[in-house]
Amino acid sequence: MQTYTWNGDYPLYRVLDENGVVCGQLPSLSDDKIIEMYRWMIITRYFDQRAVNLQRQGRTGTYAPFSGQEAAQIGSFALIEKDDWLFTSYRDLAGLMYYGFPMHQSLFFSMGHPFGGHVPEGMNVLPYQIIIGAQILHAVGTAWASKLKGENRVSVTYFGDGATSQGDFHEALNFASVYKAPVIFFCQNNQWAISVPFQRQMATPTIAQKALAYGMEGIRVDGNDIFAVYNAMKRAVERGRAGEGPTLIEAVTYRLGSHTTADDPTRYRDANELMEWKDKRDPIIRLRKFLENKGIWNESMQKDAEQQAKVLVDEAIAAAESFPKPNPAEVFDYVYSTATPDLVEQKAKFLQHGGRER
């Protein structure tokens, strides 16, 4: 009898080492483009800190911070075109804001304002997903439709390491490979699914290797290395557009903050582990070192960028807090295309006197 267990090594793809020194092939990006991406990392990091503080001050509700994952998100969102399809989780606001999702609207989700889900026209971005992994299948569906219609679009879905344990993850990868759908499965392995570490989430040493079982290409990339992420995503997007089917990308990164503002990671996470990632592997520090080594960034530019971030985020917070409050009667309007007789009746009574009686 011959049995087989794959014990191969799934290498971590890198372009910048932890000191910001080039150790691979740099993408062909202009200095301006790289600086733009770096500025957005600063802006979104600042946004994240402010969003947590707003919750602490009671100005917003539960918020899921993304700090530490800016390179994984911005480096990959940079390849997504406006007519592509995007299905994210709730921890992907850095990428979404860089992509063009309005910053003030990004706060609505944690403020509990229903307008958060009203994605602006002109972008095929679905309201971010709450149910872990459910969106992965939707991306396969839109990608499949693009293929059937002969359109040159890709669908991209973002999810975390925990989502790979869901049945929907498996079903989605299987369907995508069967239909050779132009979809990119972008997994940010941030090491923790609330309190459960990666090693207890799965027995395999990597997520990327799961691609092998579906007959699709998999890439394991340093998610805190924006150039490696960019290159990996570029290849996946180009393969999708060329009709070569789906790709699974595992971006190895780290959630520097809590799962959400309702979570206390000191209960389950070793402080040394956090310091290791925070001090040595922060994606923003790494890119800054690269820029400074290249001589295209300095302390005064950094101060300007931080000031610009503060202005943008302050404006967004002011815009969010002064945005008209939701009209509660609108809950009846978006259940069906045309309100049912029951909803018409309930709305009329609600509008009359807030009542519910018959």
Partner 1 sequence: MANLTMIQAINEALGISLEQDPRTIILGEDVGHNGGVFRATEGLQAKFGENRVVDTPLAESAIIGTSIGLALNGMRPIAEIQFLGFIFETMDQIASQAARTRFRSQGRFHVPMVIRTPFGGGVRTPEMHADSLEALFLHTPGLKVVMPSNAYDAKGLLLSAIADPDPVLFLEPMRLYRLYRSEVPTEPYQIPLGKAKVVREGTHITIVTWGPMVPVTMDAVKQLQEKHNISCEVIDLRTISPIDTETIIQSVEKTNRALVVHEAVKTGGVGAEIIARINEKALYSLEAPVRRITGFDTPYPMSMVEDHWLPNSEHIINAVLETVNE
177-216 mask for partner 1 (x: CB under 8 A)? -x--------------------------------------
CB of 140: closest distance to partner 1 in angstroms? 5
Binding-site member from 78, 139, 211, 232 for partner 1 (CB under 8 A): 139
Determine, following the binding rule CB under 8 A, whether residue 327 of this chain makes contact with partner 1: no
Determine, following the binding rule CB under 8 A, whether residue 126 of this chain makes contact with partner 1: yes
Residues 6+ apart with CB under 8 A from 72: 186, 188, 223, 224, 229, 251, 253, 283
Binding-site member from 142, 189, 190, 261 for partner 1 (CB under 8 A): 142
* Residue of 259, 281, 286, 288 with catalytic role: 259
Determine, following the binding rule CB under 8 A, whether residue 320 of this chain makes contact with partner 1: no
Helices 226-241/70-77 angle, 10° precision: 40
Determine, following the binding rule CB under 8 A, whether residue 63 of this chain makes contact with partner 1: no
Determine, following the binding rule CB under 8 A, whether residue 70 of this chain makes contact with partner 1: no
CB of 129: closest distance to partner 1 in angstroms? 9
* Residue of 50, 255, 281, 286 with catalytic role: 255
255 is catalytic: yes
- Render the burial of 23-34: b for 16+ CB within 10 Å, e for the rest: eeeebeeeeeeb
Determine, following the binding rule CB under 8 A, whether residue 119 of this chain makes contact with partner 1: yes
At residue 140's C-alpha, the angle toward residues 136 and 146, to 5°, is 145
Number of neighbouring beta carbons within 10 Å of residue 272: 7
Distance, C-alpha 21 to centroid of its chain: 26
Q: Residue 218: in which H helix or E strand, if any?
A: strand 217-222
What is the rounded CA–CA span in Å between residue 227 and residue 219?
14
Contact (Cβ atoms closer than 8 angstroms) between residue 203 and residue 209: no
Binding-site member from 56, 266, 342, 355 for partner 1 (CB under 8 A): 342
What is the chain's alpha carbon radius of gyration, rounded to the nearest angstrom?
A: 21
Which range binds partner 1 by CB under 8 A, 122-130, 273-281, 294-302, 311-319?
122-130
What is the rounded CA–CA span in Å between residue 118 and residue 83?
17
By DSSP bridging, strand 124-125 and strand 155-160 are unpaired
259 is catalytic: yes
Active site residues: 255, 259, 268
Contact residues toward partner 1 (CB under 8 A) are: 85, 114-115, 117-119, 121, 124, 126-127, 130-131, 134, 136-146, 148-149, 155, 167-168, 171-172, 174-175, 178, 330-331, 333-337, 340-342, 358
